[in-house]
Chain A
Amino acid sequence: MDSYIDKISFCIQKGKIDSKSPYPPEMKGEPGADELTMEALRDGLNANDILTKAMIPAMGVVGELFKEKKLFVPQVLMSAKAMSSAMHHLKPYFASGELKQKGLFIVGTVAGDLHDIGKNLVSMMIEGSGWSVMDLGVDVKSEQFIEAIRDNPGSVLGMSALLTTTMESMERSVREIKSIYPQQKIIVGGAPLSSDFAKRIGADFYAQNPQTAVEYLGNIK
């Protein structure tokens, strides 16, 4: 059974989705995360073991390598796709309550900003770490963040901004949210940000890259 765990983990790390996927070339024709997860479940492997011993650690390795700039966005996207193809087979277990997400991460790009590349990457990595993600999209106003927090107590909020001008709307949103929900955990990220800025506006954490966001979430739960 351990060989399934190792193989699924390996496929996710390598971005091997299924046997039809030509990537990576050295695994062409071999089964991917999709088929292996299906087979593992059919052979009686515990869904929780697949999730917690294969899938989540594999995405952790990917995130770490990305943080160290040993892996790059195309490879990370392939790993996220492989993860997603495996996760598809676990859906019934989540629906039945046998598997549980670690928590809910609400994410959005702040008002006035339409960029979503960074936000999407962070969402994928956080989803890969076992969290459920609610993506509010781009150009998200404070009221939309507040409404999502109100409807989902206990969630963690992530905000993204790529422009120096929209860092101002990020600050506004963080202050408004904290004035209503002082205990609300807020992670911020984006190219022009820094930990000093995050501190100054009252955010709880500055995620320089997706993996640091994953690590932060791992520590608060």
Chain B
Amino acid sequence: MKMTPRERVIEAMSLRKPDRVPLMCQFSIGAMMQQLKPSPAEFWYDGRLFSVGLADLCERFSFDGILVSLHGHSPQWRDEILSIRKIEEGKEEVVFKDRTEIHSWNDLPMVKYNNKIEKKLIDDIDLSRDVPDFIDYIPVSQDLYFKVDPQYPFEIFGYLRELVGDKYSIHGEITSPFDYLLDLLGYEQGLISLIMNPEKCKKILEKFTENIADLAEKMCDCGIDAIKISSPFAGMGFISPEHYSEFVLPFESIIISRIKAKGKFTYIHTCGHIDDRLELMRDSGSSGLECLDPEPVGNVDLANAFSRIGDSMFIKGNIDSVNTLLFADDIKAYDDVKKIIETGMKGRGFILSTACSLAPKVSSQRIEMLHKMVEDIGYYQ
């Protein structure tokens, strides 16, 4: 029996085989911009426009689900802006009191602060003053933040359901406490602090964990099916498995158990090399894993990953967005994706997706190819 896109994704996340392999790639902001060509500043700040874009892209490329990577858009987003001007086609400058942002169709906004942001030393961090009592920002990238309006934290999910009804699986996204810790201290000091002041790190992580879990629980009440936990600095490129066990696993596990208690699925997204810690990631209790970057971006072999953790976790991945979708010729792109679909179909729960986000300049034709392929070769018997 033919399933709806939403049913298909839920079935895979439940470690059962749907009618066919679900397809659900996460778009980078740049990829959305390249496809939609909106006013880049408005697209970043306006929740309605952002949700229309997400729904449009999902329909356009026949994906089975939508990841909402930003939430908490403020309807009053223009109030703090001193000026906004178009620099050229697809490029806008937005000036605030403390910073200037360049928004473009190319990628994430670039922010230049009037005064350099000084990070506090870990010994000077006051838990009650310096670690927020609730999460009102998303650390999107280095020195790039998305402010979460506490009055409208989850309006975007309502907008989306209005647009797509029950047809698609909608997923929210939160950021790992480990990421918030590194952002608070600065990446260099943050990583050094893991060995110089581990106990203080854990206290900071505990507070972030509690607040992120609160946020995630509330997000669960917004008609979503799953929450992605973005944890980009938890891979082999940064920390050891021992540090993963000490500073990532216990804290993400708490959040995961609280999300699962609300009846929702979770998946962890860690880019790059993660092969040495797949079992640790499974021990978090997460329903699934995303990314699993293959060589050369990462070091995960999909078949091997399924054999190690596939009995208890679904896998969402693992197309190399750069070397397969962006730079490869048609034959290599097709062959790479075919191999992933065939391997994934042997596993219990599998969603076809890019490992990391779709790179901005991946062509429409390449994205369309993915749906054609799951239709051609992705049906289970």
A192 to B327 Cα, complex, angstroms: 11
- A72 and B195 CA atoms in complex are apart in Å by 12
Closest B residue to A120 by beta carbon equals B188
**How many chain B residues have a CB neighbour from A under 8 Å?**
37
User: Which residue of the partner chain, among B106, B143, B191, contacts A74 with CB atoms under 8 Å?
Assistant: B191
* A197 adjacent to B238 (CB under 8 Å): no
Residues on the B chain within 8 Å of A112, using CB: 106-107, 110
Q: Within the assembled complex, what's the spacing in Å between the Cα atoms of A139 and B107?
A: 14
Q: Which of B239, B359, B360 contacts A72 (CB 8 A)?
A: B239
A191 lies within 8 A of B273 (CB) = no
Q: Which of B30, B195, B272 sits near A165, CB closer than 8 Å?
A: B30
Residue of B nearest to A164 (CB): B359
Report Cα–Cα, A191/B195, bound state, in Å. 25
B351-373 CB contacts (< 8 Å) to partner A: 359-361
Interface of A is mostly: loop
- Shortest distance from the beta carbon of A200 to any chain B beta carbon, whole Å: 9
Nearest opposing residue in chain A for B359, CB measure: A164
* Given known A74-B239, A164-B361, A165-B30, contact A192–B195 (CB-CB < 8 A): no
**A69 and B361 in contact (CB under 8 A), knowing A74-B191, A191-B272, A192-B322?**
no
Asked whether B297 is an interface residue with its Cβ less than 8 Å from the other chain, the reply is: yes
In the assembly, what is the distance between CA of A72 and CA of B235, in Å? 10
Chain B, 136-155, CB within 8 A of any chain A CB: 141-144
Given the complex of chains A and B, what is the CA–CA distance between A77 and B182 in angstroms? 14
Partner of B327, one of A22, A114, A168, A197: A197
Least distance between B255 CB and chain A CB atoms (Å): 23
Q: Residues 185-220 of chain A: 1 if any B CB is under 8 Å from the residue's CB, otherwise 0?
A: 000000110101100000000001000000000000
Q: Which chain B residues border A114 with CB–CB below 8 Å? A: 110-111, 141-144
Report A-chain residues with C-beta under 8 Å of the C-beta of B108.
163
CB distance from A95 to the nearest CB of B (A): 27
- Interfacial residues of chain B within 179-235, with CB under 8 A of chain A in the complex: 187-188, 191-192, 194-196
Cβ of B243 < 8 Å from any Cβ of A? yes
Does B296 sit within 8 A of A, measured CB to CB? yes
What range describes how many residues of A lie at the interface? 20 to 34
Interface residues of A in 116-163 (CB under 8 A from B): 116-117, 120, 139, 163
Tell me whether A69 and B236 are in contact (CB under 8 A).
Answer: yes
Whether B35 sits at the interface, judged by CB under 8 Å, is no
**Does B326 interact with chain A (Cβ within 8 Å)?**
yes
B240 an interface residue at 8 Å Cβ cutoff? yes
Query: Are the C-beta atoms of A77 and B192 separated by less than 8 Å?
Result: yes
A5 vs chain B, min Cβ distance (A): 26
Q: Mark A11-33, 1 if CB is under 8 A from B, else 0.
A: 00001000001111000000000
Residues of B within 8 A of A38 (CB): none
Query: Taking the complex as formed, is B276 at the interface, i.e. its CB lies under 8 A from any CB of chain A?
Result: yes
- The distance from the CB of B204 to the nearest CB of chain A, in whole angstroms, is 16
CA–CA, A116 and B142, complex, Å: 9
Tell me whether A73 and B107 are in contact (CB under 8 A).
Answer: no
Kindly list chain B residues whose C-beta atoms are within 8 Å of the C-beta of A117: 142, 187-188
Give the residue of A72, A139, A165 whose beta carbon is less than 8 angstroms from that of B243.
A72
Task: Report how far A73 CA is from B359 CA in the complex, Å.
Answer: 26
Kindly state whether residue B343 has any CB partner on chain A within 8 Å: no
Q: Is A74 a contact partner of B192 (Cβ separation < 8 A)?
A: yes
In the complex, the 3 A-B pairs of residues with the closest C-beta atoms, listed nearest first: A164-B359, A165-B107, A74-B191
**Listed A/B pairs (19) with beta-carbon separation below 8 Å:** A22-B196, A72-B243, A73-B237, A74-B243, A81-B192, A112-B106, A114-B110, A115-B142, A117-B187, A139-B110, A163-B30, A165-B30, A165-B106, A168-B361, A191-B272, A191-B297, A192-B297, A192-B359, A197-B327
Question: B residues touching A (Cβ–Cβ < 8 Å)?
Answer: 30, 106-108, 110-111, 141-144, 187-188, 191-192, 194-196, 236-240, 243, 271-273, 276, 296-297, 321-323, 326-327, 359-361
Interface residues of A (CB under 8 A from B): 15, 21-24, 69, 72-75, 77-78, 81, 112, 114-117, 120, 139, 163-166, 168, 191-192, 194, 196-197, 208
